[in-house]
Amino acid sequence: MQQSENQPAGIEIALWHYSKNERDWNRWMQSLSADERERAATYRFERDRASFVAGRYLLRRLLSVHSGVSPSKVLLSPDKHGKLKMEGRDIPQFSLANADGLVAVAVASGCDHLGIDCERADAEIEEAAVASYCSADERRRLAELPARERARAAVALWTLKESHLKALGVGLREDPRNVVFSWKDGIPVMIDGSDRDRRWHHRLIQSGSQHVVALAACCQSGLPGISTRMFQDDSMPSE
């Protein structure tokens, strides 16, 4: 369905603390493409294979709802930078992320760019890593925080930058220090002031205490409506 240029964008976010049962992984595999199943088989560690399979399963479930095509028939292919695209007409923007037991998928209509990222809230980020992705001003602001707040704020900054670079489809080919954030009334904003930057919206999404989830969206029509839900797998076979 086409969306009016002046109609606010709508963004759906699904968060899923997926099962660690191998029987469930095998069931999810049935919705994946042959290429995805082959790729899943190459993962050396079970946790990495489960994360990949769960991510593609959830993505296909959500895109199936938007396209009216069964999950296994959704056509996905990477672009030249490796970012997944869905083949077909009037397709939504989407983004996928996963981190240690959590999968996050965002699907949007009316957005030019969309990215989501998630990280463990207790992830340890070394000083050298902070220097590699934070601007001098961001490092100064982090240094002013109490130690406990500083660690989580560093993870939040990393996640925000990752979501933005994923939305652009460039990943770490762009220097993260070029994407500079500040907080205004509790909302992260990019520091630049150009018309293009005013079309960008960034949010830290409530996901519980164990993970930090960040969303980046570039929309012509203003502040997008965002709905977030915890995904429940309703495809469990009956006993």
Taking only the tens place, the pLDDT of each residue in 150-170 is 888 899 999 999 999 999 887
Give domain status of residue 187, yes or no. Answer: yes
15-21 mean pLDDT: 91
Q: Are the C-beta atoms of 192 and 203 separated by less than 8 Å? A: no
Give domain status of residue 217, yes or no. Answer: yes
CATH code for position 109: 3.90.470.20
Cβ neighbors of 146 (< 8 A, separation 6 or more) are none
What are phi and psi for residue 2, nearest 5 degrees?
-75, 145
Per-residue pLDDT band at 176 (split at 50, 70, 90)? confident
Give domain status of residue 25, yes or no. Answer: yes
pTM for the model = 0.87
Closest CA to 204 of 218, 192, 191, 216: 216
Give domain status of residue 4, yes or no. Answer: no
pLDDT at 39: 94
Domain count for the chain, please give it.
1
Give domain status of residue 1, yes or no. Answer: no
- Is the pLDDT at 7 greater than 80? The verdict is no
Calculate the average pLDDT of the chain.
85
pLDDT at 196: 53
pLDDT at 199: 82
Residue 180 lies in domain:
10-230
Neighbours of 38 (CB within 10 A): 10
Highest-confidence range of 143-147, 191-195, 231-235, by mean pLDDT? 143-147
47-76 mean pLDDT: 92
Give domain status of residue 3, yes or no. Answer: no
Instruction: List Cα–Cα distances, 237 to 28, 52, 194, 234, in angstroms.
Output: 12, 22, 52, 9
Give domain status of residue 109, yes or no. Answer: yes
Give domain status of residue 75, yes or no. Answer: yes
2-6, 50-54, 83-87, 137-141: least confident range: 2-6
pLDDT digits 0-9 by tens, 191-217: 764 545 678 889 999 877 789 999 999
